[in-house]
Structure 1
């Protein structure tokens, strides 16, 4: 991941204290680069920013229609949720509809990020379960596809029909042969692509039509589900949810671990892929918000925009000690 450029600056008083470097690409509906920072050919694991790509076979295969999945469930299939009740209730109901249990998930148990849900578990002395895992919606989609394929239970194995379908969709939409994969936090393979490839894929999602072919229709359904139900994609107080609401549900955005972020902008038929090289969430949130403002789809005066761009940094006594802002060339 050579030659990242400065994207976000952290100031303390008059001193530049830290700089987050990274790469970002904006593509149009033809997959052409319209703006870029750093190296568009940098090869990166997109992590959870690729969940809508991993969910394409769920719809294209007919499995989603066969199972009668709702838009809420499609949003969950693309989610990195925080294990709040609104997430857990829906995932458990999905499992029940499939005739499956928590043990059928290949993702590990994860303590909810949602404070209320976590504290409820502690007070009730209940165990942390796999359905609390932030990727349990994606895995519910994998289980749905596994059942439809009548395949074996190890649906995260690279040679499993589910992962073969995911890889094929990933390569076809990014228009690249993936150079490899890493195992994600939820145990599923995560395929690598260039920054350009991911931005090109997001532009495909942005320009996809419900009336198009099977792949276009699947992409449009997933994009619309994410934008319609941002609280299911992430959760209260999370950047993905806040930003989608701030843009009036017209843009879909999705974070990924280690400083990745994507945006799908239907009204402009544009896609964005962003990677902060040091893997920090704060850098990715500031940078993607800055790009959304730059593209004219987020009002810089909106409180959510101001939460992530040019945001004051305060100490424990509430004193403003500095500021986080986009680097020159990004704003």
Structure 2
């Protein structure tokens, strides 16, 4: 098993004036519809945890089992099942309605309470002396999907247990789509198992989503993400901004610790990348540049430039440098 830090390539650089101040290394893989690597940086076989970038794989059993149809779930539900939302009202209201729809409540979630990452909601809750709830957890949409699937399968309340039918179905979907046997798992921030695979395996899975028929489970999840970018992340977030800028059905999903994926239907390509130091700013920059390189994002679009060559400003608003893609990606 290749350690993620071994033979990583510098993908992103932070410049302050004329000085290279920091550099972020990582691995990235682009796969075509046959699962073959068409471009790669670093080590394609590096085994890592994809974290929230694997949510569209974890959501697959929700449709395949018939649970989504039985509960009449729409595109907003499917987008939220793949989301790492910021706990804004648009997210919690829709997840709350989903809970009501399936007869569940906040206490049924296995994810922990999380302070909303939405400034307006967070400040309102502080003024009202309200404690954060589980519905504010960035993974509450995924967990609403888990609860729905658990009800459909007749599972117990502990739906994040490794031997629970929900997680068995998630592992099966994960291994089918990556075409790999996962070497193991870690416990994610939301308490659910997160299965490991190679960068190649994840890029291969994303390419399969890219070419999936619109009516297939994979196609429905891909299209739901592209249709509702504001639900997948939120205003000001990279996933939302880059999906809107790219258009054409592109789906993008960040994961914790510098992971990121993209599904490109027009190019029939899947992308997976990992920044080895876990830097989210670097994964967002590298992904934007790869999207530009693959023709999925206009290099002169303001949102592309904001990430591929984003200004670094100090507290007085003075531009002191840039975070930009490294020469390896150019």
Deviations 1:38-92 (A, max 9, x none): 0000000000000000000000000000000010000000000000000000111
CA distance in 2, matches of 1:90, 1:168: 28
User: Is the CA contact (8 Å cut-off) linking 1:181 and 1:190 kept in structure 2?
Assistant: yes
Instruction: Tell me how many residue pairs correspond in the alignment.
Output: 326
Q: Which residues in structure 2 correspond to 1:96-175 (within 5 Å)?
A: 96-175=100-179
State which of 12, 17, 23 in structure 2 corresponds to 1:13.
17
**Structure 2, unpaired ranges of 5+:** none
C-alpha RMSD of the superposition: 0.7
Residue in 1 aligned with 2:238? 239
Residue in 2 aligned with 1:307? 306
User: Is the CA contact (8 Å cut-off) linking 2:214 and 2:223 kept in structure 1?
Assistant: no
Shift >2 Å, 4+ stretches: none
CA distance in 1, matches of 2:317, 2:248: 33
**Structure 1, unpaired ranges of 5+:** 212-216
Which TM-score applies when normalising by structure 2?
0.98
CA distance in 1, matches of 2:73, 2:272: 28
Deviations 1:298-321 (A, max 9, x none): 011111111111112111122221
Q: Which residues in structure 2 correspond to 1:260-271 (within 5 Å)?
A: 260-271=259-270
Deviations 1:161-185 (A, max 9, x none): 0000000010011000000000000
The CA deviation at 1:249 is 5.0
Residue in 2 aligned with 1:252? 251
Residue in 2 aligned with 1:50? 54
State which of 70, 83, 88 in structure 2 corresponds to 1:84.
88
CA distance in 2, matches of 1:248, 1:263: 12
CA distance in 2, matches of 1:19, 1:160: 42
Deviations 1:113-153 (A, max 9, x none): 00001111112222210000000000000000000011100
State which of 16, 24, 27 in structure 1 corresponds to 2:28.
24
More deviation, 245-254/191-200: 245-254
Which TM-score applies when normalising by structure 1?
0.97
Residue in 2 aligned with 1:206? 210
Residue in 2 aligned with 1:214? none
CA distance in 1, matches of 2:305, 2:266: 23
CA distance in 2, matches of 1:97, 1:260: 33
Residue in 2 aligned with 1:40? 44
CA distance in 1, matches of 2:32, 2:247: 21
CA distance in 1, matches of 2:146, 2:92: 17
Secondary structure of the residue aligned to 2:12 is strand
Residue in 1 aligned with 2:328? 329
Deviations 1:1-27 (A, max 9, x none): 121100001111111111000000000
CA distance in 2, matches of 1:27, 1:327: 21
Q: Which residues in structure 2 correspond to 1:277-316 (within 5 Å)?
A: 277-316=276-315
User: Is the CA contact (8 Å cut-off) linking 1:228 and 1:249 kept in structure 2?
Assistant: no
CA distance in 2, matches of 1:293, 1:266: 15
Secondary structure of the residue aligned to 1:208 is coil
